[in-house]
Structure 1
Amino acid sequence: MSSLPAIFISHGSPMLALEQDAPAHHFLCRLAELFPRPQAILAISAHWETPEPALSLAEQPATIHDFRGFPPALFAMRYPAPGAPALARRAGELLAQAGIRAFGSADRGLDHGAWTPLTLAFPDADIPVTQLSVQPDRDAGWHARIGAALRPLRDEGVLILGSGSFTHNLMEMRYQAPDAPVPDWVNQFADWMRGALLEGRQDAALDWLRQAPEARRNHPTTEHLLPLFVAMGAGTPGIPARLLHSSTDRVILAMDAFAFD
């Protein structure tokens, strides 16, 4: 069985599922062509925040529409993939071996951080999926440690999929004209973080809040970058990231995606 990479994708707006002209939409529609078909998917979504790691044990996870103000077509979408409770238990065991306690959630469904990219990448919804939460009160190193504990799953046919956003300041979005150029403060952060990942400077990436330019302006809260560090931690130590995609959505959302082999 071929080892799968751990990947991080930027899911952007939930509208990405419907916006066929968006570059990131096209990328996600081709994502499954980039690696062997997974036997199961462990999705780490920015939209499930818990004080301690939690894993979904749902047999048939519901599609969670955790947003408002969008068109009815988006609320009508469903992603009826089977759950993966056996994978959740296996992930919990690996975390326990690393000294990390994780809790099970009997009925947690798939939030849009999971189902938005999955509905494009795996539209048949026939691969079992479970979710793992993030802990915004913990730092990048904590999430990389979680990823490292889960690394063996890559050799077990599991796609470790971190889903967040490379930049994410929604308050700034209201001040941007739709056709405005990408602001310098977005480019400065994205260029720095992209360089750190592609050059294998993982210690610098983990210290992003201190070292990256405009870090807090791009991430006033950290939850949308934390899935990146889980994916990074699950990669093979010493191997730099591979850039899978780069574009910008709604002026200020950098949509970068990376593979960690």
Structure 2
Amino acid sequence: MDIPTRLPTLFLSHGSPMLAIDDTPAGRFLDGLGAQLPWPKAIVVASAHFLTDRPMLGGHAAPHTVHDFGGFPAPLYELRYPAPGHPALAESLRERLEAAGLRPKVREAHGLDHGVWVPLRRMYPQAAIPVVPLSVMPHGDAAQHYALGRALAPLREEGVLVIGSGGFVHNLGDLDWQHRDAPLAPWAQAFAQWMHERLDAQDLDALLDWQRQAPNARHAHPTVEHLMPLFVALGAAGEQASVRAIHRSHELGTLALDAFAFD
């Protein structure tokens, strides 16, 4: 397949690691998503589970599958996602981020955490596309992650798919473990609706100030790392990118699994 002149960027909510194997609306959405996109020559994934104090890129030629979770069924730990890495792309991205003043680093032995391999395993089960993981900064803000994404914006023209993998509403302390299909809690719904409205309006100023302006922001994200990949994907789409909500679902009462494409 010909490499496209321009790819969208994506924000995907990966939820629980069980997304890798469970038959759920979010899982079925991911199963069909890869086929709806032009085939990329490489994928860069900003993951909520790759946390550093400055931007870092995984540069391993054959990254291992990281099972960075505990207490789940044994079959989950047997899964592997043997996609190749792309050291040359990682180094090229390091140079771009360096030029943007972001002090990046390449971690040569870094593997694929579940924020990377869980959605990719469902989107691209062939594990044939080279993958470069990208960190987020838990002490950084939305503006810093948007700037990180903006430095990656040329990748859309180069056939490289940029994905932010996190969670649209992510408060593990408030999950209703007894009722997987419980309605979305009112506080979570209010936060999600505000985010949808601001994204639809392309109100970047409000979005970058989400912690102050969004209702229930601290309740929806007691820590920020699961929302920061959204700002990376939004920045990587470039100026005046359109926003499409491509999936909406939730689990366990408060875990919102919404996904977006930025064109």
Alignment TM-score, normalising by the size of structure 2? 0.96
Q: In the aligned structure 1, how far is the partner of 2:184 from the partner of 2:73? A: 26
Kindly provide the CA deviation profile for residues 44-100 of structure 1, in whole angstroms up to 9, marking residues without a partner as x. 000010011111110100000000000011000000000111111111111112111
Structure 1 residue 260 displacement after superposition: 1.1
SS in 1 for 2:152: helix
The residue that corresponds to 1:153 in the other structure is 155
Q: Is 2:177–2:252's contact at 8 Å kept on the other side of the alignment? A: no
AA in 2 matched with 1:235: A
Q: In the aligned structure 2, how far is the partner of 1:206 from the partner of 1:172? A: 25
Which stretches in structure 1 are left out of the alignment for 5+ residues?
A: none
Structure 1 residue 33 displacement after superposition: 2.3
Q: In the aligned structure 2, how far is the partner of 1:52 from the partner of 1:131? A: 14
Q: 2:260 aligns with which of 247, 253, 258?
A: 258
Q: How does 1:61-72 map to 2 (within 5 A)?
A: 61-72=63-74
Q: Is 1:119–1:125's contact at 8 Å kept on the other side of the alignment? A: yes
Q: 2:199 aligns with which of 197, 200, 222?
A: 197
Q: Which moved more, 1:114-123 or 1:191-200?
A: 191-200
Q: Does 1:5 align with 2:23?
A: no
Structure 1 residue 34 displacement after superposition: 2.4
Q: In the aligned structure 2, how far is the partner of 1:180 from the partner of 1:111? A: 28
AA in 2 matched with 1:18: I
Q: In the aligned structure 2, how far is the partner of 1:80 from the partner of 1:218? A: 33
Q: In the aligned structure 2, how far is the partner of 1:56 from the partner of 1:90? A: 12
Q: In the aligned structure 1, how far is the partner of 2:112 from the partner of 2:74? A: 18
Structure 1 residue 177 displacement after superposition: 3.5
AA in 1 matched with 2:209: D
Q: In the aligned structure 1, how far is the partner of 2:61 from the partner of 2:189? A: 41
AA in 2 matched with 1:69: G
The residue that corresponds to 1:44 in the other structure is 46
Q: In the aligned structure 1, how far is the partner of 2:200 from the partner of 2:18? A: 29
Which stretches in structure 2 are left out of the alignment for 5+ residues?
A: none
Q: Which moved more, 1:175-184 or 1:150-159?
A: 175-184
SS in 2 for 1:210: helix
The residue that corresponds to 1:19 in the other structure is 22
Q: Could you say what the CA RMSD is over the residues aligned between the two structures, in angstroms?
A: 1.1
Q: In the aligned structure 1, how far is the partner of 2:166 from the partner of 2:213? A: 20
Q: How does 1:163-182 map to 2 (within 5 A)?
A: 163-174=165-176, 177-182=179-184
Q: In the aligned structure 2, how far is the partner of 1:116 from the partner of 1:80? A: 12
Structure 1 residue 178 displacement after superposition: 3.3
The residue that corresponds to 1:86 in the other structure is 88
Q: Is 1:199–1:240's contact at 8 Å kept on the other side of the alignment? A: no
Q: Is 1:134–1:227's contact at 8 Å kept on the other side of the alignment? A: yes
Structure 1 residue 179 displacement after superposition: 4.1
SS in 2 for 1:136: coil
Structure 1 residue 236 displacement after superposition: 2.7
Q: In the aligned structure 1, how far is the partner of 2:254 from the partner of 2:89? A: 35
Q: In the aligned structure 2, how far is the partner of 1:123 from the partner of 1:176? A: 31
Q: Is 2:174–2:254's contact at 8 Å kept on the other side of the alignment? A: yes
Identical-pair percentage: 51
**CA 115–257 in structure 1, closer or farther in 2 if over 3 Å, else same:** same
Structure 1 residue 198 displacement after superposition: 1.6
Alignment TM-score, normalising by the size of structure 1? 0.97
Q: Is 1:176–1:251's contact at 8 Å kept on the other side of the alignment? A: no
Q: Which moved more, 1:94-103 or 1:210-219?
A: 94-103
Provide the aligned length of Structure 1 versus Structure 2.
260
Q: How does 1:80-119 map to 2 (within 5 A)?
A: 80-119=82-121
**CA 175–117 in structure 1, closer or farther in 2 if over 3 Å, else same:** closer
The residue that corresponds to 2:251 in the other structure is 249
